[in-house]
Amino acid sequence: MPYNTNLIMMRPKERAFTPFQKASPTTLPAEILKKILGHLPKHEIFHLCALNRTFQLHVDRALYSSIIFPSPPQAMALMRTFTENHQLAHCVRELELTPQPWMAIDRIRVTIILAFYNLLSLRKLTIRRDERDFFSPEELRSIFGILAICPFRLREFSSFKVDYDLVVRLLSKFPHITTWNHRPCSFATPLDPKDPLPDDFLPRLKVLDASPDVILSFTSPRPIERLHISFNGEDEVPVVHFLSQFCPSVTGIGIWRRGANAGDITTSTLLNHLAHALPNIRVLTMYDGRVEECYEKDPDVQDSDIDTPNQVVDALSRFKNLRVLGWLSASMFEAGRPGCADNSLWFNLWESHNGKHADFAKTLMQTCPSLRQFVLPIHMDSCHHVAWTRYDNGYMDWDEVSDQFAAELWKKGTW
């Protein structure tokens, strides 16, 4: 037999590991494969299950990682799957749930408990109430009682149009939550005083998105890093002063303002109070409906109720550590909204800068030395935005940004 030197020189691992195997998707690290699957729509991810058994395990994690709870009969089939297949149940990390009256039926409650009890990896829970569904107080408490006994280790919780008292009782069972987003019922009063929350309620809370009355119920500090406040005609100054208790930790804030009535505080006044209460914030995002309202429709509005451009720029200059400012268009949130009115602050800001976002941005950048990024509408009536950036060498440049980018800036308060 001839002497084959190739067999001697080639290592066993090199003989077994072919170039084709290196290119196989199943050899990729799980973290990279997860990112790839995250860019695919769910119907495409579903088809990938047929490739092979190894690939199916990765696909299942992506397919079941985020679930929007369906209506019956799909809901019953999903709950049976989670009850019988613990591996799939453990893949669920995000769940969006709309409580429905049929969930409170005794025989179905048992099925829901068995299914939800297996969601051990659930970290984000969203509850949306459809106000068209009539619930008795007992039925709604029954559904929340199911959630309270489940062994979730939630980190994020969002509630929309759900009774505040029910939400607080539920969250008291999950002390590890770091993000809470609460939107009240449509019939809630603009400022409905709440009982003070216990000092041990959500002690690790870092992100809070809520109405002023909920924020005022935190009578002791939390390690909150980002606040999001939706004003709806309340007296804003006491609320802003109250935020000073969060001063050591808060670095980002988003403010939503509605209304333009006579006697309301001006935008520059609100910014001055905010700069005093939270001097360390680095990210400020604003949707200020007040600056775009038709002031001339209210005969009681005086000139003193309308900011001048210089007043607004001067107020923003008081934020000595501000790095990112997002002043977002009302049209982005309210479809079909007409453009800003003559004699409004927004109109005056643009008119004083020749109607060009470049002049507006450069004025603000020069006034605020710490500012590095400024996101604003392309023009006065646009729902599309541009982002101005100032680099370390002082050079400034801009680029158009997607609506998704602006929405994420508003939602997360991060660049």
The answer as to whether 313 is a domain residue is no
Nearest to 231 by CA among 265, 202, 199, 180: 265
Mean pLDDT for the chain? 79
Cα 223 from Cα 257, distance rounded (Å): 25
Cα 152 from Cα 103, distance rounded (Å): 19
Q: Give me the helices (H) in 224-294, please.
A: 236-242, 267-277
Burial (0-12, 13-18, 19+ Cβ within 10 Å), 407: middle
Cα 232 from Cα 214, distance rounded (Å): 13
- The whole-number pLDDT of residue 48 equals 67
pLDDT digits (tens, 9 = 90+) for 236-255: 889 999 999 998 899 999 98
pLDDT digits (tens, 9 = 90+) for 375-403: 888 877 677 788 999 998 888 898 888 77
pLDDT band at 157 (very low <50, low <70, confident <90, very high): very high
The answer as to whether 87 is a domain residue is no
Cα 35 from Cα 46, distance rounded (Å): 16
- Amino acid identity of residue 219, one-letter, is T
Instruction: Please state, in angstroms and as integers, the Cα–Cα distance from residue 212 to each residue in 56, 131, 230, 237, following that order.
Output: 46, 22, 7, 11
Cα 381 from Cα 384, distance rounded (Å): 9
Instruction: Give me the domain span that covers residue 41.
Output: 25-64
Q: Which long-range contacts (CB under 8 A, 24 or more apart) does 110-115 make?
A: 111/76, 111/79, 111/80, 111/83, 112/79, 112/146, 113/146, 113/149, 113/150, 114/79, 114/83, 115/78, 115/79, 115/80, 115/82, 115/83, 115/89
The answer as to whether 53 is a domain residue is yes
What are the tokens at 309? 């451009």
Nearest to 56 by CA among 105, 91, 7: 91
- Res 221 pLDDT > 80: yes
Give the total number of structural domains in the chain.
1
CA 295 to chain centre: 31
The answer as to whether 129 is a domain residue is no
> Torsion angle, CA of 233/237/239/241, rounded to 10 degrees?
170
Cα 386 from Cα 108, distance rounded (Å): 51
pTM for this entry? 0.80
- Res 184 pLDDT > 90: no
CA 331 to chain centre: 19
- Amino acid identity of residue 76, one-letter, is M
Q: Under a CB-based contact definition with an 8 Å cutoff, are residues 97 and 121 in contact?
A: no
The answer as to whether 77 is a domain residue is no
pLDDT digits (tens, 9 = 90+) for 39-76: 677 666 666 666 666 666 667 777 788 888 887 778 88
pLDDT band at 20 (very low <50, low <70, confident <90, very high): very low
- Other CB atoms within a 10 A radius of the CB of residue 388 amount to 22
Which conformational region is residue 405 in: left (phi greater than 0), alpha (psi within -120 to 50 degrees), or beta? Answer: alpha
> Torsion angle, CA of 413/178/183/170, rounded to 10 degrees?
170
- The residues near 36 (Cβ < 8 Å, ≥ 6 apart) are 28
The answer as to whether 214 is a domain residue is no
Cα 47 from Cα 53, distance rounded (Å): 13
Cα 143 from Cα 152, distance rounded (Å): 15
CA 367 to chain centre: 30
The answer as to whether 42 is a domain residue is yes
The answer as to whether 73 is a domain residue is no
pLDDT digits (tens, 9 = 90+) for 283-330: 999 887 665 554 444 566 666 667 777 888 899 999 999 999 988 776
Higher pLDDT, 347 or 377: 377
- For the chain, the distance separating the N- and C-terminal CA atoms, rounded to the nearest angstrom, is 69
